A and B are shown apart, each in its own frame.
Chain A
Amino acid sequence: MCSYLLIGFWFTRPSAANSCQKAFVTNRVGDFGLLLGILGLYWITGSFEFCDLFEIFNNLIYNNEVHFLFVTLCAFLLFSGSVAKSAQFPLHVWLPDAMEGPTPISALIHAATMVAAGIFLVARLLPLFIVIPYIMNLIALIGIITVLLGATLAIAQKDIKRGLAYSTMSQLGYMMLALGMGSYRVALFHLITHAYSKALLFLGSGSIIHSMEAIVGYSPDKSQNMVIMGGLTKHVPITKTAFLVGTLSLCGIPPFACFWSKDEIINDSWLYSPIFAIIACSTAGLTAFYMFRIYLLTFEGHLNVHFKNYNGKKNSSLYSISIWGKKGQKPIKKKNPFIGFINNK
């Protein structure tokens, strides 16, 4: 509910209204599964407390007293709750649209805390899932799919917040992968390090958007658009340093935080299955690519406010963005904020 209200903070924007409803309903689909899972588990074990639940459940499984398919179904339903909450495939659709909300909201709940609740739920219920191998494989599979999907989608974003949202989705996939492999400590470790890094990145992006709004106006289509940004190093050096630190950390460069946790995940994945490990490693490379793409587009080069060839509707690669700006263009001075605005029209 809080997510709903906060995403819809600027409620006069129709896209915000649509996004908050989408987020609520998608999370409700997950909650539907969660409720059914809870009810099924209650029916099997007769208790709600975690300790009793795990004991009774383990006894029943070892003595083969319950129907295996039913138990698997209950566990799957419980897992689906966290699939929706942590934006795993296929219930990930709400997270990019949730970027309609203010940036502190994105930093807090959609990067650090709320989307971590699903991971936490799976970690909490891991004693239940561990005795059902099918579910563990499923968790790892969904994790790896989310990792790859998030990373590949993040490469193609032109909105800075959406790019970070897909990056969050990818990193949550890493955590789910770790949980699926049974190494919950690593997953929770990555949860914490990622929370810090991503919150830093989001807050940095918020600062950039705020500065860009002074130049290009309040429409997110322009102020969050990385195509128009560039060359902000000279103007916002502190934000640049912070963003650089966050980027380095998220890409897994030692001695920053995410290196240690991501390294452990990839290490465990080699022990689990080679295919997953290859995908995880290559996605780590993709992570580095898109994160540095965001950083370089935003901070280096020249300010692209006069970018005349940019047409948001064409997807052809002939219109790709020149990262170093057009030669011979002077960077715009902040004294004339209207020039860029008029030119872009």
Chain B
Amino acid sequence: MNYFPWLTIVVVLPISAGSLIFLFPHRGNKVMRWYTIFICLMELLLTTYAFCYHFRLDDPLIQLTEDYKWIHFFDFYWRLGIDGLSIGPILLTGFITTLATLAARPVTRESRLFHFLMLAMYSGQIGSFSSRDILLFFIMWELELIPVYLLLSMWGGKKRLYSATKFILYTAGGSVFLLMGVLGIGLYGSNEPTFNFETSANQSYPVALEIIFYIGFLIAFAVKSPIIPLQTWLPDTHGEAHYSTCMLLAGILLKMGAYGLVRINMELLPHAHSIFSPWLMILGAIQIIYAASTSLGQRNLKKRIAYSSVSHMGFIIIGIGSISDMGLNGAILQIISHGFIGAALFFLAGTSYDRIRLLYLEEMGGMAIPIPKIFTMFSILSMASLALPGMSGFIAELIVFFGIITSQKYLLMTKILITFVTAIGMILTPIYSLSMLRQMFYGYKLFNAPNSYFFDSGPRELFVSISILIPVIGIGIYPDFIFSLSVDKVEAILSNFFYR
């Protein structure tokens, strides 16, 4: 059982099953939808099975590893493996992608290509979270770009071509730096290239070189998990994409950037990370306030939620920058928690747009009476987004706060300042969330054309919303579900910082 290639199957299955979609006869969309959902579900079950039975929680090393020679010429192996850090995001990916496929039922145009792209995204996401080889990580990272570009430009809103182009230019531009960093690390120090994570992790680089690599990687990850000032692609992209793409973007792709920060910058380049972490914390704190304030001024509903995503990612950046046990745990929990909440908010925004066809908040209003179920779910998830105790967001933010305080690296004044600035975000978040709720649902407005499409949530949408709500509340009540996965790995990562 040790050598059964679980991870390879999990990574390769979606895209290969997806390519079979094109062989289906042109007999309507229903077959393709059911097939895709079936594949996604099977994949999720397979992942869960593999993790339940073959993963030991207290082992901080890499498990379920696979190592196959691919291109021996420059030592490019197909290396996969998971550990406590990546298992959370992989399960999150499976969950959210399945739900996004389920949410994408109303898509009727070019359905085959749509579902194939969804499955391709699935593969790419799991591949990048589970790769143990830097070049493979880069390849999986790039594999995400084309499906998102196509999904955005074909099924998006009014400004879709502009936002698709902006997305691809930003991300590909960041990936150039990623490639340079990857090649640099791989080719350094020995005559033959080595891309293995483990070998690279144990190798020590001169400090100047570390700093150069760090900056390169930081630019790439700063575009993806947006760190200001490189976040401007995100509101356009999230504002124009179809809501199932938004779920994938906000739920998973942003977290790939944060994951890359931990995986590469913290594990491989610890000295540079110690030098840069104060700046990361300052940037994170500013990001929270800036994005929350900008979100307040948005008139477009989806852009408002997009800026709220940027604001929540600031907590992750702070958690990564505070080199402390609790900070990193809080960052990982916020990765999972915001994955759920962001996806759910975009889903609900998208379904209400489907009904009302209005994106600007001034034109909406008084929708609580016709669509009470959506109103309820939206309210609950907005409360989750503003970190109401009892939901996962509160725990994540609280633990990040503790991480800032218990960090041993900084002076007291810095810590007080960062804590203060971050906590101001706590006041700004309810302002935009509740204001959004108020403008959409509260009040009373007579619609000029009550069309017959204005139905409330059906069972499919309720299912998607509730199945995202349950983990949010579950983690909020018992966060050990996630902490038990990540605690040992976090200790292992941080031991690098205190013993060198």
Contacts and interface: CB of A to CB of B under 8 A. Distances in A.
A215 B241 CA distance: 54
Contacts of B383: 1
Interface in B415-435: 416, 419-420, 423-424, 426-427, 430-431, 434-435
Nearest to B404: A39
A192 interface: no
Given A12-B366, A12-B442, A24-B434, A39 B427 contact: no
Interface string B383-420: 10000100000000000011001100000000010011
A20 B433 CA distance: 13
B369 interface: yes
B431 A25 contact: yes
A14 interface: yes
Given A12-B442, A21-B434, A35 B427 contact: no
A17 B401 contact: no
Given A12-B444, A14-B442, A17-B442, A36 B420 contact: yes
A97 interface: no
A35 B401 contact: yes
B427 A29 contact: yes
Contacts of A11: 368, 441-443
A216 to B, nearest CB: 21
A31 interface: yes
A14 B443 contact: yes
**How extensive is the interface on chain A, given as a class?**
20 to 34
Nearest to B383: A1
Nearest to A27: B430
A43 interface: yes
A246 to B, nearest CB: 33
Nearest to A73: B416
B427 A32 contact: yes
B434 A25 contact: yes
Contact of A12 (B369, B423, B426, B434): B369
A43 B405 contact: yes
B438 interface: yes
B426 A25 contact: no
A230 interface: no
Interface in A10-26: 11-14, 16-18, 20-21, 24-25
A18 B438 contact: yes
A24 B426 CA distance: 12
Contact of B419 (A17, A18, A25, A36): A36
**How extensive is the interface on chain B, given as a class?**
20 to 34
Interface in A110-144: none
A8 interface: yes
A1 B427 CA distance: 14
Interface in A26-44: 28-29, 31-32, 35-36, 39-40, 42-43
B402 A39 contact: yes
Contacts of B431: 25
Given A12-B366, A39-B419, A31 B402 contact: no
Contacts of A21: 434-435, 438
Contacts of B441: 11
Given A1-B388, A35-B423, A12 B430 contact: no
Given A1-B383, A1-B388, A39-B402, A25 B427 contact: yes
Pick from B406, B423, B424, B435 the residue with the most CB of A within 10 Å: B423
A32 B426 contact: yes
Contacts of B369: 12
Contacts of A42: 402, 405
Contacts of A18: 438
Contacts of A20: 434
B424 A32 contact: yes
Contacts of B379: 5
Interface string A30-68: 011001100110110000000000000000000000000
Contacts of A35: 401, 423, 426
Pick from B420, B441, B442 the residue with the most CB of A within 10 Å: B442
Given A1-B383, A17-B438, A32-B423, A39 B366 contact: no
Given A1-B388, A39-B401, A31 B426 contact: yes
Contacts of B405: 39, 42-43
A122 B347 CA distance: 42
Interface string A232-266: 00000000000000000000000000000000000
Nearest to B415: A43
A24 B444 CA distance: 21
Nearest to B405: A43
A312 B369 CA distance: 32
Nearest to A46: B406
Nearest to B366: A12
B104 to A, nearest CB: 31
B115 to A, nearest CB: 39
A222 B440 CA distance: 29
Interface in A73-92: none
A23 B368 CA distance: 20
Nearest to A22: B434
Nearest to B424: A32
A16 B438 CA distance: 10
Interface of A: 1, 4-5, 8, 11-14, 16-18, 20-21, 24-25, 28-29, 31-32, 35-36, 39-40, 42-43
Q: Which 8 A-B pairs have the closest CB atoms?
A: A17-B442, A12-B444, A21-B434, A11-B442, A17-B438, A43-B405, A14-B443, A28-B430
20 contacts: A1-B388, A5-B379, A8-B442, A12-B369, A12-B442, A12-B443, A13-B443, A13-B444, A14-B442, A16-B442, A17-B443, A20-B434, A25-B427, A28-B430, A32-B423, A35-B401, A35-B423, A39-B402, A42-B405, A43-B406
